[in-house]
Each structure stands twice: as C-alpha cells, then as structure tokens.
Structure 1
Amino acid sequence: MSAELLASRPTESETTLVLTLSNPGARNALHPDMYAAGIEALTTAERDPSIRAIVLTGADRFFCAGGNLNRLLENRSKDPSVQAESIDTLGEWVNALHTLTKPVIAAVEGAAAGAGFSLALACDLIVAADDAKFAMSYARVGLTPDGGGSWFLARSVPRALAAEIMFEAKPVGAARLHEVGVVNRLAKPGHALADALAWADSLAGISPNSLTRIKQLLDDAPAQPLAAHLVAERDHFVASLHHPDALEGISAFLEKRPANYKR
C-alpha cells in the first residue's frame, strides 16, 4: 500500500473532518502525495459549512515518523530543485493547516517526528497520549527543520528549550510538552483520537465566526504593537456584534438555552 492521506467524517461526529496520515510499514512517513491531498482536503473543508473542526491523526496508533530517509537519499542524486519543490508543497500544506479558519486538532499517538512534529505544531490544539514522543531529529542525520518546525517551536516555547529540542534532536515526552503548554491535553494511550473528536464536537457548539476571528487575532498578535492590536480587536468586536452569531449567542444566553449557530 502507498502513502496516502485518508479523509473521513465519523458518524458519531458529523461536524468534524478526520484526516489520517497512512503509510503502512513506514510509521506513516510523509510523501508528496500526502501534501497535495492535504491541501485539497483543507480547501474543501474551508468551503463546507457543515465542517466545524478538523482532526489530524495517524493510522495504527502512530502519528508520523516524518520524512522518508530512503527517498531523501534518492533525491540527493537528483537536481536540488526536486527536493525544494517537495518542501515547498509541504509548506503549502502546513500553511493551509495553520491558516484554516476552523479549529484544527492534532491527535498524537506513538510519536510525531521531524515534519510530523511540524504538522502537529501547525494545528491549533494538540491532544497526545501520555506516552507519546515528539522529536525534531534533523540534526542527528545532518539536516535542518522543514515544515515550519523551527518557526512554530520558536513561538511556542522559550528559545532555550527550542534550541535544546532541535540541537539535541532527542525525543521529548508529551508530559514535558504539556507542562510548557505545547500539548494541550494528555490522553490515555489509544484514546488521543477519541478525546480529540470529543473536543472537536464541543467546539462545534461555539460561534464559528468568533473562532475564525480569534484565530486571526492570535496569529496577528506577535507581530503587532499593542496600539495596533487594540484597533484590530475593536474592528473584530464590532464586526462580530453585527454578525448573526452574536444575535443567536446573546439571545441564547439571555433565554438560558443552548445556542444554535449556523453558517
């Protein structure tokens, strides 16, 4: 069987799209075919109002081993543009994950290594089995990060910890990353996907407009001075107040009933 990205809509979670990294026998190592499928799946999800959240996971209780070293060795004999094009497409997928206007949750079992770790970091939230491992192991094989791994780590943890993770290139336990806020929730082994789906379902009850705008504010905040960010908050607040979600949300709160948001 070849490497592929599987898309499914669990019957028990009608508002969530599950994307599963699948590469049997290779611990779900990545392949350019996955990148293209990922971009297509996210483009479709963005346009589908019935999808409220995305869960990214790996098949057979293993998230992703990262790049295939045998394929990388083969690419050394080819023009450098071949590898550059592959990394560019991976970057497009990572960017699509990060900029999707809907919540994206990574459900990690086993390990997330190399670009697999980058993919998990590109998600908004991470649920990991408490025995899962995360590794940026590039330096161990004479390489450097791709897929935005260094960008996300530099913004997620203190620089010293980011340097340690990338310099030593050793696996880091989910518990340690949970302590520093990279992993949001720990799950029992074998339960990361179920817990992520339950979380995605709960987010389906939150205003989609609010979630989209909050994601934008979070993305913009690190590069904006406070004065500019206050203006952005004002503009998002006013636009949200005049959005149908605010009418439904405020009415539901005052009427003491669950809100029913539509898109």
Structure 2
Amino acid sequence: MSAELLASRPPESESTLVLTLSNPGARNALHPDMYAAGIVALETAERDTSIRAVVLTGADDFFCAGGNLHRLLENRAKDASVQAQSIDLLAQWIVALRTCTKPVIAAVEGAAAGAGFSLALACDLIVAAEDAKFVMSYARVGLTPDGGGSWFLAQALPRQLATEMLLEAKPIAAERLHALGVVNRLVKPGKARDTALAWADELGRGSPNAFARIKTLVAAAREQPLADHLSDERDHFIASLQHSDALEGIHAFLEKRAPRYR
C-alpha cells in the first residue's frame, strides 16, 4: 500500500476534519503525495464552514517516522531540484497548517520523528500519549531539519535547549515536552486521538471569527513591537465587536445560556 493522507469526518465529531498519516509498514513515513493532499484538505477546510477544527494524527497507533530514507537515497542520485521541490511542497503544507483559521490539533501516539515532529509542532495544540517520543533525528544521519523544525523549536524553547535537541538527535519523552510547555495534554496510551477529537469538538463550539483573529494575533506577537501589537489588538477587537459572533456571544452570556455560533 502507498503512502497517503486520509481525510475523514468522524461521526462522534462531525464538525472536525481528521487528517490521518498512513503509510503501512513504514511507520507512516512521509511522501510528497501526503503534502499535496494536506494542502488540498486544508484549503477545503477553509471553505467549508461546517468544519470547525482539524485533527492531525497517524494510523496504527504511530504518528510519523518522518522522511523515508530509502527515497532520500534515491533522490540523492537525481538532480538537486527533485529534493528541493519535495521540501518546498512540505513547506507549503506547514504554512497551510500554520495559517489555517481553525484550531489544528496534533494527536501523537508512538513517536513523531524528523519532519513528523515538525508537523506536530506546526499544529496549534498537541495531545500526546504518555509513552510517546519526539525526536529531531536529522543530525543522526548527517542531515539538517526541514518542515520548520528548527524554527519551531527555537520559537518554543531557550536557544540552548533547542540546539541540544537538534544536535544530539535523541528521543525526548512527551512528559518532558509537556513540562516545557510544548505538549498541551498528556493522556494514556491509545487515547490521544479520542482526546484530540473531544477537544476539537469543544473548540468547535467557539466563535470561528474570534478564533481566527486570536491565531493571527498570536502568530504575529513574537515579531512585533508592543506598540504595533496593541494597535493590531485594537483593530481586531473592534472588528470582532462588529461581527455577529460577538452579538451572539454577549447575548448568550447575559442570558446565561450557551452561545450558538454559525
């Protein structure tokens, strides 16, 4: 069977789009076909107002082993443009995950290695099994990160710790990443997908307009001077106040009922 990205709408959470990395026998190793499918799936999610959240997970209780070393060896014998095109396509998928206006949750069982780790970091939130492992494994085989792995770690962690993880290329327990604030929730093995779906369903009842604007503000915050960010907050607040979601949310709060966002 070939590597593919499966898209589904589970009956227990129909407002959630579930994207499943599937590459049987290869621990869901990545392939450019997955990247292309991921980009299309997220474009669909943006247009479909019935989709309120996205969950990214792996098949067979394993998240993703990263790049396929056999394919990399084959590409080494080809023109460098072949590998460049593959990495650029992965980058497009990473950007699509980061710019998605809806909450994106990674559900990690087993391990997330190499670009698989990068994919998890590209998501807004991470749910991981207690026994899950994460590893930026590139340096172990003489390679350097792709998929934004070095950028995400440098953003999330002190420089020294990010450098240690990238240079040593050793597995890191989900528990340690949870303590560092990289993983949001730890769960019993086998429960990551169900927990992520329940969380996605909960978030799916929130304001789509507010969530999209909050994601925009958070993405910009690290690069902006405070004065610029305060101006952006003002503009987003005023636009949100004028949006129908705020009218519903305020009325629901005052009437002591759950809001019904469309």
Q: When the two structures are superposed, what TM-score results if normalisation uses the length of structure 1?
A: 0.99
What 5-or-longer segments of structure 1 have no aligned partner? none
Provide the C-alpha distance between the structure 2 equivalents of 1:205 and 1:72, rounded to a whole number of angstroms. 43
- Provide the residue aligned with 1:233 in structure 2: 233
Q: Deviations over 1:109-144 (max 9, x none)?
A: 000000000000000000000000000010010000
In structure 2, give the amino acid aligned to 1:70: H
- Provide the residue aligned with 1:37 in structure 2: 37
Instruction: Report how far residue 204 of structure 1 moved.
Output: 1.0
Provide the C-alpha distance between the structure 1 equivalents of 2:240 and 2:34, rounded to a whole number of angstroms. 36
Instruction: Report how far residue 37 of structure 1 moved.
Output: 0.4
Instruction: Report how far residue 160 of structure 1 moved.
Output: 1.1
SS of residue matched to 2:247: helix
Provide the C-alpha distance between the structure 1 equivalents of 2:259 and 2:26, rounded to a whole number of angstroms. 44
What 5-or-longer segments of structure 2 have no aligned partner? none
- Provide the residue aligned with 1:256 in structure 2: 256
- Provide the residue aligned with 2:155 in structure 1: 155
Provide the C-alpha distance between the structure 2 equivalents of 1:12 and 1:126, rounded to a whole number of angstroms. 20
1:1-263 matched pairs, under 5 angstroms: 1-262=1-262
Instruction: Report how far residue 82 of structure 1 moved.
Output: 0.3
Q: Deviations over 1:185-225 (max 9, x none)?
A: 00100000000000001101111111000000000111100
Identity across the alignment (%): 76
Structure 1 stretches (4+) deviating beyond 2 angstroms? none
SS of residue matched to 2:60: helix
SS of residue matched to 1:228: helix
Q: Deviations over 1:89-117 (max 9, x none)?
A: 00000110011000000000000000000
In structure 2, give the amino acid aligned to 1:9: R
In structure 2, give the amino acid aligned to 1:131: D
RMSD: 0.4
